[in-house]
């Protein structure tokens, strides 16, 4: 990890203070109805972004997130005035005033949103990582989502493809405990959301999101692994068993229920022979109609 000096500490503090004041100002403007639509603030989560930015290579790494996306582009290098202009619906905004609060975007600074659909950014982040691998850019995509988005099926599809193809992507769940208002305990029978990655043999773990240094350490390790494309090391590989009892169960099931087993083929052949005998026994059209 890059050294955390006194200057780095001061830079993190200055950035987090700017982001907090920026969001506080937006909250005031929202009450005055100068910011329209929805407004989702990043207050209290600044250390997650500060730690990640210290670990990232801003010349080639990308970032994509959900709708709490006002301060991330500022951290990536976008002028705060352009972000504010976007929220106020001005043509000088990052999306020409057409995106608003949930759709901040800057291709120049490799910030790809800002997505209003819960969990919609997760597979898009995997797609950005696929492009980096395809074109061999050496970049890594930071894909952020909240605890509410962790319940979306798109997360599992993205996890599966990312691990299958060893994509240069880092998934970060910012668990604030309540999504948009429903607690984690009421949405699933588990509260350790980071463990969802274990089902895909994804290296993962919890990090103190209130400590930018801890976040930077964890992000550095994750980014380095993703950039190398090492994939996931397996501790132990189980040899394939010689017997495959599920094949035998499948054949037995085929004899009773039909399917692709040899018993099913004999059953269908016997039924076809029975139909042929009935047709051959019909002497008149009326008999044929009855047979049918």
pLDDT tens-digit readout, 25-42: 999 999 999 998 899 999
pLDDT at 230 over 90: no
Taking alpha carbons only, the member of 119, 16, 140, 8 closest to residue 74 is 16
Q: What is the pLDDT of residue 143?
A: 97
- For the chain, the maximum distance between any two Cα atoms, rounded to a whole number of angstroms, is 102
Is residue 172 helix, strand or coil?
strand
| CA distance linking residue 124 with residue 271, whole number of Å | 52
Least confident of 161-175, 179-193, 215-229: 179-193
Q: Which of 151, 137, 121 is nearest to 226 (CA)?
A: 137
> For the segment 127-155, what is each residue's pLDDT rounded down to a tens digit?
999 999 999 999 999 999 999 999 999 99
DSSP 196-259: GGGGGT-------TT-HHHHHHHHHHHHHHHHHT-----S--PPPPS--HHHHHHHHHHHHH-S
Tell me the β-bridge partners of 143: 64, 171
Does domain 6-228 fall under CATH 3.40.50.970? My reply is yes
pLDDT of the residue at 159: 96
Q: Is it the case that residue 171 has pLDDT exceeding 80?
A: yes
Average pLDDT, the chain: 85
Q: What percent of the chain has pLDDT over 70?
A: 82
pTM of model > 0.85 = no
The segment(s) of the chain belonging to CATH 3.40.50.970 are: 6-228
| Residue 246 vs residue 72, higher pLDDT | 72
């Amino acid at each position: 990890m890059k050294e955390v000096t006194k200057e780095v500490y001061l830079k993190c503090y200055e950035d987090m203070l700017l982001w907090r004041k920026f969001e506080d100002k937006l909250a005031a403007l929202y009450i005055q109805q100068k910011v329209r639509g929805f407004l989702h603030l990043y207050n209290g989560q600044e250390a997650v972004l500060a730690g990640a930015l210290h670990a990232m290579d801003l010349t080639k790494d990308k970032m994509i997130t959900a709708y709490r996306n006002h301060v991330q582009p500022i951290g990536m290098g976008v002028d705060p005035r352009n972000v504010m202009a976007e929220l106020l619906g001005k043509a000088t905004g990052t999306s020409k005033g057409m995106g608003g609060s949930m759709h901040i975007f800057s291709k120049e600074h490799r910030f790809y949103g800002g997505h209003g659909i819960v969990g919609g950014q997760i597979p898009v982040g995997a797609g950005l990582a696929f492009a980096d691998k395809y074109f061999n850019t050496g970049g890594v995509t930071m894909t952020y989502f909240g605890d509410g988005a962790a319940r979306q099926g798109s997360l599992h599809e993205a996890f599966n493809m990312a691990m299958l193809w060893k994509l240069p992507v880092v998934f970060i769940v910012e668990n604030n405990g309540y999504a948009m208002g429903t607690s984690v305990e009421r949405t699933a029978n588990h509260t350790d959301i980071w463990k969802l990655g274990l089902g895909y043999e994804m290296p993962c773990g919890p990090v103190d999101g209130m400590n930018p240094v801890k976040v930077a350490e964890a992000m550095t390790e994750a980014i380095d692994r993703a950039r190398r494309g090492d994939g996931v090391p397996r501790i132990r590989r189980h040899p394939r068993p010689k017997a495959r009892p599920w094949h035998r169960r499948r054949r037995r099931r085929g004899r009773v229920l039909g399917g692709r087993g040899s018993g099913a083929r004999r059953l269908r052949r016997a039924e076809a022979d029975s139909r042929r005998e009935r047709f051959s026994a019909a002497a008149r059209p009326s008999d044929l109609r009855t047979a049918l």
